[in-house]
Structure 1
Amino acid sequence: MSLENTTALVTGATQGIGRATAERLAADGAHVACADIQDTADTVKAIEEAGGSAEVIALDIRSAGDWSAAVEHLGRVDYLANVAGVVNMISEDSVVGLTEEAWDHVLGTDLKGPWLGMRAVIPGMITRGGGRIVNISSLAALRGLPNLASYSAAKGGVAALTRQAAFEYAEHNILINAIAPGTIDTPILGDITPEMKQANANSHLIRRLGRAAEIASMVAYFFREGSFLTGLTYPVDGGWSAKGNF
């Protein structure tokens, strides 16, 4: 299915998986709203230089007002990719070591943000007869991993919310899925040592870090081809979820 004459809204489009997703959907023909709390001008410039169509959207995904303004400005959203997210950089991320501030920050961004996004775009999708949404979850939603308590809770919530929303809105031809990436080589890994990177790579059966473009390809598959898929949380993890341990 072509994405020509459609509009896709991608959050977290400044860098990493969000930027790769925006560039891929634009290459597939969509007009891409590149949304982020940071300036997405560089992403838009790269898309336009490659012959695609895009625009900057200033969006704090934690703000219902920002979501409403973005959707009103765009007029229509055929595809939503909820990519933006954070990890806990405020405190230890164990159940005992977490602070309330850290919990609220991670859950407010990684779980509330995708909910607000779906709430903002689904009414218009119902009116137009359908749409597709992909939420970014994580392997942390499916596996017990160290020092990721708030992140695991948020991403597990994304997977559960994806299933529930898929059930609720399938009758309106709205297909909603999630992706659970393994460890992806993005700027979020910029401060870790080469040894830590290699340890993360070794968690995968395919012994390397994933690439942002590989996650973007799965988003594009759900949008372009996944006409009989909804309610899934699909691992794109180099085989990590197939292992008996990490």
Structure 2
Amino acid sequence: MELSISHPALLSIADKDPGRSFFGGAQEWYSTDWSRRAGCGPTCASNILAYLSLSHPALLPLYGYGSMDRADFSRHMEDVYPHLTPGRAGLNRVELFSDGVAAYAAERGIMLESHTLALPGRMTRGRPAVSQLAEFIKAGLKSDCPVGFLNLHRGREKNLQSWHWVTIVAAEFEEDRLLVTVSDEGQQIKLDMRLWYLTTPMRGALAYFSENPASYQQVDAGNPKDGKTP
């Protein structure tokens, strides 16, 4: 079984060189040394927010620029960064990521609902089964939202950097493998999530976002159809 966000091409970013393009943002585009070193979390959030804006009309304010070229997307990354500023250990907890995304959206008048799954290291008692990772990723992709993925140690998955956020845009669900396609450093790569989960000694997390139904309730309450004030 294969699943993907509906329009992955929306994450294609044009470079000033006509013959070059990127898939999602790259943290090296940030303007300061620290943000370039530690900015994988806000870069991942920038990917998610841009995609939601471009694919969901009600979420248009989440991306404030007229194109998806590198210059405009870099400005978007700088807009997102103050809400997801990495500390000395980066964004090493999923709530730092989800709270930052929600705060950025709220500043633009959008209420997002956060969906998160904490992933303990492999020696943790009561650790979720791999099938729970698969079901969470399915839910995110079916809702048409890229899924943020944090790992603190790459285990035996050689295509993954440790202490790093990447953006899941597609997945292949097999009985003995869970292959995901991610945006990482402006490139599209594949990872074996099952291999990572079974071999990492440290924790990680997954996160995606959806429109918060409460936002519609507030609009309805403020604009009653019968013309009466509440």
TM-score, length of structure 2 as denominator length: 0.28
Higher relative contact order (CA 8 A, sep 6+): 2
Between Structure 1 and Structure 2, the one with more helix by share is 1
Q: If the length of structure 1 is used for normalisation, what is the TM-score?
A: 0.27
Quick check: which one's strand share is greater? 2
